[in-house]
């Protein structure tokens, strides 16, 4: 499998929800916690993600479920654009 065929499903907590989750002492469970998921084209280095983001699934498109594929059509971003989508490990 070549890296251009790899997709990553990333789940992240939007910045405006983080303070309430910190106050509650937990992050809740997707989708009820308000987290969002995006599909990233290309492999993602977990060390590049913020503390509020995680890799849910990564691999060839065929390993993704039907529900994941529906999300792919909603948004697919390149791996080098993580900071533009509030996913990268950058200062808030």
Q: What is the pLDDT of residue 31?
A: 83
Question: Which burial class, exposed, middle or buried, applies to 40 when counting CB atoms under 10 A from its CB (0-12, 13-18, 19+)?
Answer: buried
Strand 36-41 and strand 76-78: pairing? Answer: parallel
Residue among 20, 10, 84, 5 nearest 54 (CA): 10
pLDDT at 84: 62
Q: Which residue has the tokens 């060390």?
A: 47
Which pTM does this prediction carry? 0.67
Residues of the chain with pLDDT under 50: 90-92
pLDDT (0 to 100) of residue 43: 82
Classify the C-alpha dihedral 79-80-85-87 as positive or negative.
positive
């Amino acid at each position: 499998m070549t890296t251009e065929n790899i997709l990553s499903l990333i789940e992240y907590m939007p910045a405006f929800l983080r303070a309430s989750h910190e106050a509650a002492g937990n992050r809740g469970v997707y989708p009820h916690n308000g987290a969002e998921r995006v599909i990233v084209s290309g492999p993602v280095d977990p060390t590049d993600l913020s503390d509020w983001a995680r890799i849910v699934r990564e691999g060839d498109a065929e390993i993704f479920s039907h529900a994941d594929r529906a999300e792919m059509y909603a948004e697919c971003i390149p791996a080098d654009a993580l900071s533009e989508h509030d996913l990268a490990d950058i200062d808030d």
